[in-house]
């Protein structure tokens, strides 16, 4: 597997600010399978007070929340998009974030890096995090 080093990224203090300020997190690739990382992370985020919004191609509900087929389908404001998809998908997801105009943070999970898409998000005034887990960073920063 080829791995890209993140050249566009937030530091720990910026991650703290992000996690303190966001309220609604759309999670692309949120699996209904409780053994999958996306589900475990989403459950944790939900339990510490974030509103999670599942984006998944099947099903009607995950973790008690309505499932949307795409980020574009969500009819209310989203603060952050948390990506559990291949890094190649970042380009299209960033484009949708830009089209929406309300996404403040683009967060790619562990081992997910796409610097071209990350730079495009940053240029559109989004904060960017790549190659970090929201759950692990939240636990480390806030001791939950």
Q: Where in the chain are the domains?
A: 12-142
Whether 25 has a pLDDT exceeding 70, the answer reads yes
**CATH number of this structure's domain 12-142, picked from the four choices 3.20.20.450, 3.40.250.10, 3.40.50.720, 3.40.50.1220:** 3.40.50.720
Helix 37-47 with 134-142: angle, nearest 10 deg: 40
Cα 105 from Cα 21, distance rounded (Å): 10
For residue range 52-92, list pLDDT tens digits in order: 999 999 999 999 999 999 999 999 999 999 999 999 999 99
Cα 109 from Cα 119, distance rounded (Å): 16
- Note the pLDDT of residue 1: 44
Cα 110 from Cα 121, distance rounded (Å): 18
For residue range 4-21, list pLDDT tens digits in order: 888 888 899 999 999 999
Whether 48 has a pLDDT exceeding 70, the answer reads yes
| Mean predicted confidence (pLDDT) in 15-41 | 97
- Note the pLDDT of residue 78: 97
């Amino acid at each position: 597997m080829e791995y890209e080093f993140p050249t566009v990224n937030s530091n720990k203090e910026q991650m703290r600010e992000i996690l303190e300020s966001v309220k609604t997190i759309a999670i692309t690739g949120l699996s209904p399978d409780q053994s999958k990382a996306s589900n475990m992370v989403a459950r944790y985020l939900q339990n510490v007070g974030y509103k999670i919004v599942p984006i998944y191609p099947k099903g009607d509900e995950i973790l008690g929340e309505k499932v949307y087929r795409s980020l574009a389908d969500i009819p209310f404001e989203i603060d952050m998009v948390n990506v559990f998809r291949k890094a190649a998908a970042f380009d299209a997801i960033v484009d949708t974030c830009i089209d929406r105009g309300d996404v403040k943070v683009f967060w790619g999970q562990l081992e997910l890096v796409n610097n071209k898409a990350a730079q495009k998000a940053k240029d559109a005034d989004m904060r960017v995090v790549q190659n970090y887990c929201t759950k692990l960073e939240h636990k480390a920063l806030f001791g939950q």
